[in-house]
Structure 1
Amino acid sequence: MEAAEALTLLMSPQGRVDPYPTYERLRAHGPVVQALPGLYVVTGYPEADELLRDPRLGVLDDALRDQVWPNWRQSPAISSIARSMLRTNPPDHSRMRRLAAGAFSPRRIAGMRDVVRAQAEELLDAMAGRAADGKPVDVLADFAYPLPVGVICALLGVPAQDRPLFRRWAGDLTGVLEPEITTEELAVADAGAAELRDYFVELVVARRRAPADDLTTALVQVHDADGDRLTGAELLANLVVLLVAGFETTTNLLGNGLVVLLRHPEAAAALRADPGLAPAYVEELLRYDSPVQLTTRTSTAPVRCGGLDLPAGSTTLLLLGAANRDPRRFSDPQRFDPTRDQAHPLSFGAGPHYCLGAGLARLEAQLAFPLLLRRLPELALAGTPRHRTRLTLRGYESLPVMLGTPAEADRGTPAGALGNTP
């Protein structure tokens, strides 16, 4: 299969639901391949890692965005992403990232361990109550979404009663992160972005009236003190992105990872018996079925990688999910093996745009998986899970499970017994 044909298959609904066979078709052409004029596709781990760190490659800037979407400034979804740290290059990216980085420092995340565990325990109690009649429950809706959204909303200072609003809005908005999007899908993304923006406009007003000990207040105060450090558009865009990125990826990590564990009962049993294995399990789950499958970069100068010359102005599609299964980096990469040497997956990227919340996502997963398996030893899939037809952010539409008979809650387990702080 030619590279262009394989790329077309990857973008199709079938290819998005299960991209891994198509990754191998692309890999057969080499770790870096020119799929279309001006478009290069990377499946190799060292090549993806190198390009993510190369300062000659950046995210799409306004000038190039004008060529792709001439009216992008009128799109709430595109403009929300474009004005955030997610889609800006240094020095603007560095300036915005520094303002939020303190909330995600290793020390701050380590201090959240007991809070995250307590939230997870409460969600498991409630989920067990809903399943008391023996009927299936949706572990995404009842656990994998509310846990990370509760954590990021607490950091941002979003009231608890508002948290159920965000799943649909964020799900709609993130359609704009796909490598291809239709006019109809963009309209849906715009509606979600507008709802999120309007919500944060009101929250910003509320925090000006009544400051609190949260990240929203901190960013509002930076903007109000010096609009050059953080403009009004950047303030709203980054609040939206921090919220969405703060739970969307982790929700998918929890959902994807749980399916893998339930399909590998021996591995699940080992983690149930020894929660200290959680850090290695989470790294392998990130590698095996990454919640983020790709990212794109644009060359600002000629770059040579993987034996090919990438000219200035070319676009590179970095397939993180493929790089995580590069046989040159991982032995038997199609096999889930939590005992392998540290995986160091590229699921959270690398270089300047390495995910700001990666440590927090790891902490939540390291606590959540052992708790699920220990509290629900008879946990089982209730039918075949159905993936969303998304490629960039890979996850499930819903995840019905049977809980069986819950075990007694072990409230006395020391938090530190569930793996090392990331």
Structure 2
Amino acid sequence: MNGTTTLRDPLDIMVQLLSYEGKQNPYPLYEEMRAHGPLVDVGGAHVFVTGHAECAKALREPALLLSTDDAVQDQRLPGWREHASWRWLTRNMLFSNDPRHERLRRFFGNAFSAQRVVALREMVDRLSTDAVEHLAQAGADGGTVDLVGEFSFRYAIGVIGELLGIPPEDQPGMRADIGAITLALDPIGDLGVLVPGDQAMERFAEYFYALVARLRAAPGPDMTSGWIRAMGDGGEITEEELVANLMLLLVAATEAPMDLISNTVRLAVEHPDHHDGLRTDPEFTAGFVDESFRFDPAVQALNRVASRDFEFFGLPVAQGTPLTLLIAAGNRDPRRFTDPGVFDPTRRDNQPLTLSAGSHYCLGAALARMSVESMLPRLFDRLPGLALAKGASFRDQIVQRGHDRLPVTVK
């Protein structure tokens, strides 16, 4: 913007970002916020972070805590303890600060090590092939098919479901409850919006307590059986923490990959000149996935709060100040990326912020990448005529961005 342009108030921009229309295409609004700078200080009461370097540093900054653990929630969201959704969320590792976070991540993290994820390749390839074939059959009559329901969700929950020991017949009915729980992650004005997520979380708690009991009696090769054995060998978590984190893994490893898959497939269909590379070149496919994660990420924003007074890139930040990290804006920072508004899968040194960083770096990052990289060549080899149809829409959410519906035709 030039010197004569009047910048819109940052709070007005956020109000529009939180509207349904803003959530359908937030990127112009991020640029309006960026015009105020990489750090947008709203009178010391709130800081919006738009810069790539600033977001990357904030994700690793010890003085910044998650704004969603139980102690912080007592200050920012009075009444949250009456809602099952947040009571359960604050018991898992993603919504905990140290020392609880470090203890839980140590217990669950080994199952997602790079070496163990490599060993999952055969399973991922099998489920990818099955999902592509299901989509092909669903659209065989030439009609439109919802890619989200018939492919992205089916594939994502198939992977995490098999890992957790959830029978395939139980998986399809879980989509609505997973979606209801993720609504709790958006900015909340009226706690009444949590009620559907509360009910969903209670149903999942009952389901996973029963699953744990069943697998304790008859263990399988799944991760849940392994964690049950580790608890019996002196693992330092409670059964309640096991159930809370099983729910986290189900929700996080279904919703975010579902959105990443849908967004990546949409971008691939919109750029048909890249299909040959996706079918034949694994290195190109890996770059395409990285660029998809940067250009239209499933995670758009993360929240932190200052645990003490400190200085952040020259800005004094007082203890208790909330910071909103606009990850999707950081992914399009022109100081970090050349032509950031251009989708370029050949981009070098691509470092999207989508999978977080630091101690809260996504536990399933390697698995998520493998899942998308396995799917793309199979999809466009089997369905070279895949095309977008009318009626696509994004969910009414800002933190987690993903399609509600993505109609396609397969021939």
TM-score bracket for this pair, using the shorter chain length: over 0.9
2:25 is matched with which residue?
18
Secondary structure in 1 matching 2:47: strand
2:190 is matched with which residue?
182
Aligned pairs for 1:230-249 within 5 A:
230-249=237-256
Does residue 168 of structure 2 align to residue 160 of structure 1? yes
Match of 2:223 among 215, 218, 231: 215
Does residue 253 of structure 2 align to residue 265 of structure 1? no
1:296 is matched with which residue?
303
State the AA in 2 paired with 1:397.
D
Tell me if structure 2 keeps the 8 A contact 1:255–1:396. Answer: yes
- The 2-side partners of 1:119 and 1:213 are apart by 17
Aligned pairs for 1:12-411 within 5 A:
12-35=19-42, 37-60=44-67, 61-180=69-188, 182-224=190-232, 226=234, 229-404=236-411
Structure 2 length normalisation: TM-score? 0.94
Comparing 377-386 and 319-328, the one that deviates more: 377-386
State the AA in 1 paired with 2:382.
R
Residues 295-343 of structure 1: per-residue CA shift (max 9 Å, x gap): 1111111232233111111111001101000000001001100011031
- The 2-side partners of 1:90 and 1:147 are apart by 33
- The 1-side partners of 2:11 and 2:237 are apart by 41
Give the gaps of 5 or more residues in structure 1.
Answer: 405-422
Tell me if structure 2 keeps the 8 A contact 1:176–1:189. Answer: yes
Tell me if structure 1 keeps the 8 A contact 2:44–2:318. Answer: no
Tell me if structure 2 keeps the 8 A contact 1:7–1:35. Answer: no
State the AA in 2 paired with 1:92.
R
Secondary structure in 1 matching 2:14: helix
Tell me if structure 1 keeps the 8 A contact 2:296–2:328. Answer: yes
Displacement after TM superposition at 1:222 (Å): 4.0
Tell me if structure 2 keeps the 8 A contact 1:138–1:399. Answer: yes
Secondary structure in 1 matching 2:304: strand
Tell me if structure 2 keeps the 8 A contact 1:53–1:351. Answer: yes
Comparing 129-138 and 250-259, the one that deviates more: 129-138
State the AA in 1 paired with 2:213.
V
Give the gaps of 5 or more residues in structure 2.
Answer: 1-7
Displacement after TM superposition at 1:72 (Å): 2.0
State the AA in 1 paired with 2:338.
S
Tell me if structure 2 keeps the 8 A contact 1:85–1:93. Answer: yes
Identity within the alignment, %: 38
Structure 1 length normalisation: TM-score? 0.92
Comparing 275-284 and 288-297, the one that deviates more: 275-284
- The 2-side partners of 1:293 and 1:253 are apart by 12
Residues 2-56 of structure 1: per-residue CA shift (max 9 Å, x gap): 1121122112222222111111111111101123652111000001111110111
Tell me if structure 2 keeps the 8 A contact 1:32–1:305. Answer: no
- The 1-side partners of 2:219 and 2:400 are apart by 34
- The 2-side partners of 1:299 and 1:268 are apart by 45
State the AA in 1 paired with 2:172.
P
Tell me if structure 1 keeps the 8 A contact 2:138–2:150. Answer: no
Displacement after TM superposition at 1:275 (Å): 4.1
Q: Structure 1 37/192 Cα, relative in aligned 2: closer, same or farther at 3 Å?
A: farther
